[in-house]
Structure 1
Amino acid sequence: MELRQIGKTPLKSSVLSLGAAPLGGLFAPVTEADASATVEASLRVGIKLIDVAPHYGQGLAEVRLGKALQGLPNDNYLLSTKVGRLLEPSESATVGDNWPEALNFTTVYDTSRRGILKSLEDSCRRLGTSEIDIAFLHDPDRYAKDSSDLRGMISEAYETLSELRSQGRVKAMGIGVNAAEPCFAAMQIGTWDCFVLAGTYSVLRQEDKGLLDACAAASVSVLIGGPYMSGALAGGSTWRYRPIPPDIEDDIARLKAICDRHEVPMQAAALQFPLRHPAVSSVIVGMRSASEVAENYGFLNAWVPDGFWSDLEKEGLARR
């Protein structure tokens, strides 16, 4: 599988990465056997980056990922996890529609030095590793009161993360969000290696507000999360985890017509389109079984003619 450099670091990511949220039971429970099989299948097809977070199942995804990686040489893959959402022990799990089998923790948002160091220490323990390759500040915009508060959170986290990077305790650092604005704010505060941008830049909608171009100019890598937009671009019924809006349904139909004309699976278009931008190092896909890994690997490598991309641009569905 093709590898791409992450920022100006020596790290290289596979163009397809494993998103570990489903291993934490996102939307539906997952067996440990399926979790392990998913990780094994991912490494077998050449996936090099596995992205996880304490938030996924309140630590469950990290625990399951750690068990699946036990005994495997860690020079075969990169691990990224997130800070900001610090897990504190609780008498009961914070379960819900999204995380039906979450572990017994409650979330405290903490970007302080103590909070970040403890979050990484706890993640390492759950993952069964002594080090994390990439640390992302997770969703600061969801907890900030206003733009000033957001900048304060990012600045506070930046001080600790950049210190860890300079000490070699993490090899790269960034933020993981669902909108472009926090990334722009981060770029004004300091030097970052990469961003996870989820649910914002897809083959059907490019709502990054010029962020990818700015990142390409600054040698900051972008990892695109949610290329299927929570399922709508893979035959599902949700767009950004909500029912598909009518205007999106209309554009999906237009996209499908172009796909059918060129005999291109819509999933192949969804995975391959973000990788056409020079800022993008990888697309992160949440997968919960070995069969899903095989399917996505196939879509990644499916033939897509140049005429397909030209037609998308002519239809106004996609821009480079």
Structure 2
Amino acid sequence: MATEGTGGAPAALPVRTLGRSGVPVTALGFGAAAVAGLYEEVGEEQAAATVEAAWDAGIRYFDTAPHYGLGLSERRLGAALRTRPRDSYTLSTKVGRLLEPYDGGGDDLADGFAVPATHRRRWDFSADGVRRSLEASLTRLGLDRVDLVLLHDPDGHERQAFDEAYPALEDLRTQGVVRAIGAGMNQTRMLARFVTDTDVDAVLCAGRYTLLDQSALQDLLPGAEAAGKSVIVGGVFNSGLLAAPAPGATYDYTAAPGRLLRRALRMRDATEALGVPLRAAALRFPFGHPAVAAVLVGARSAAEAGDAAAQYRGPVPGAVWQALRERDLLPPGAPTPGSAG
């Protein structure tokens, strides 16, 4: 895969379309949770430089949510993108949590973000809640529109999500307020229901289609392919373990179990023996399935954003997938991309 274009600039990232919506996304997208202080505080200048580095690396798909840093992610991402031509990038945000003023003081670390507790989150998957959430997001972003809106983690609100929130998103799409709709979750069962039982354009599946977890192959990915819907894959590093497997690494936001750490270390040894960083293999693996349109990667620094793009662009020969299969580290039926990605 080429890594540079004319004049030494990075080669353009592949662009795919979400379902039948016509909404384009670069194969590598930027997840804006980390720049809102996920796990540790990130300053304004560092956050802006991180988004700038992602842009310079060719990324043109950006994802955020009110949940991330109590609105801080949306404010920072909107500010960083405001000077860019609006038609030159795709932006997604989420609904399902309303932010309400809170005067309890202290820090809101319960959900992993190192930000002052100026607001609290309240679940709301009603039609009115969807509209209010999107309006508030546009205000924080300082933009007149987003391209894709996703129902965010409706795990415990399944009936209301399907009966109220989803129809509200359909109405917003019909009115032209948004161009594409879907849902984003860390599980596959409900996402599979969304792609088969509704007219969503795309779903965001986090952590369930990685080198360590291919559970999305059971229901979600086949259903999406059959229905002509797109899947955006998040959490390809399973919150850290596949990025840097070592004692103390995290898996799905908690300490990695010993058996998974040992498996990740074996994966690293197998890929590095062929000159391929495990990060590169983890980023490219999801594209073996035709339903996958993009992979989202979070970054908290310009260096991390640049590294993600470099790892995505790096060559991953077919021998890597073969080596993982030979070591029983990848199921025989898991589809893998060709060496060209």
Task: Write the distance in 2 (CA, Å) between the matches of 1:152 and 1:67.
Answer: 33
Instruction: Please tell me whether the aligned partners of residues 41 and 290 of structure 1 are also in contact (alpha carbons under 8 angstroms).
Output: yes
Partner of 1:161: 169
Q: Aligned runs of 1:48-127 on 2, under 5 Å?
A: 48-92=60-104, 95-96=108-109, 98-102=112-116, 104-127=118-141
Residue 45 of structure 1 deviates from its aligned partner by 1.5
Partner of 1:276: 288
Residue 160 of structure 1 deviates from its aligned partner by 0.3
Instruction: Please tell me whether the aligned partners of residues 24 and 102 of structure 1 are also in contact (alpha carbons under 8 angstroms).
Output: no
Residue 253 of structure 1 deviates from its aligned partner by 2.2
Deviations 1:87-140 (A, max 9, x none): 111114661151111451111111111111110000000000111100000000
Q: Does 1:231 align with 2:240?
A: yes
Instruction: Please tell me whether the aligned partners of residues 59 and 102 of structure 1 are also in contact (alpha carbons under 8 angstroms).
Output: no
Residue 179 of structure 1 aligns to a residue whose secondary structure is: coil
Partner of 1:147: none
Q: Aligned runs of 1:1-320 on 2, under 5 Å?
A: 1-92=13-104, 95-96=108-109, 98-102=112-116, 104-141=118-155, 143-144=156-157, 150-208=158-216, 209-236=218-245, 237-318=249-330, 319-320=334-335
Instruction: Please tell me whether the aligned partners of residues 81 and 135 of structure 1 are also in contact (alpha carbons under 8 angstroms).
Output: yes
Residue 153 of structure 1 deviates from its aligned partner by 2.2
Deviations 1:191-242 (A, max 9, x none): 1110110011101221112311211111111111111111000115011111
Task: Write the distance in 2 (CA, Å) between the matches of 1:83 and 1:102.
Answer: 21
Task: Write the distance in 1 (CA, Å) between the matches of 2:236 and 2:104.
Answer: 33
The 1:173/1:102 distance shift into structure 2, 3 A limit, reads: farther
Instruction: Please tell me whether the aligned partners of residues 185 and 204 of structure 2 are also in contact (alpha carbons under 8 angstroms).
Output: yes
Task: Write the distance in 2 (CA, Å) between the matches of 1:256 and 1:23.
Answer: 27
Task: Write the distance in 2 (CA, Å) between the matches of 1:111 and 1:152.
Answer: 6
Task: Write the distance in 2 (CA, Å) between the matches of 1:262 and 1:212.
Answer: 29
Q: TM-score, normalised by structure 1?
A: 0.94
Task: Give the alignment's Cα RMSD to 1 decimal.
Answer: 1.4
Residue 288 of structure 1 deviates from its aligned partner by 1.3
Task: Write the distance in 1 (CA, Å) between the matches of 2:169 and 2:187.
Answer: 21
Task: Write the distance in 2 (CA, Å) between the matches of 1:136 and 1:3.
Answer: 20
Instruction: Please tell me whether the aligned partners of residues 61 and 89 of structure 2 are also in contact (alpha carbons under 8 angstroms).
Output: yes
AA at the equivalent of 1:247: R
Count of aligned positions: 314
Residue 188 of structure 1 deviates from its aligned partner by 4.5
AA at the equivalent of 1:153: A
Task: Write the distance in 2 (CA, Å) between the matches of 1:307 and 1:64.
Answer: 41
Task: Write the distance in 2 (CA, Å) between the matches of 1:271 and 1:303.
Answer: 11
Instruction: Please tell me whether the aligned partners of residues 53 and 302 of structure 2 are also in contact (alpha carbons under 8 angstroms).
Output: yes
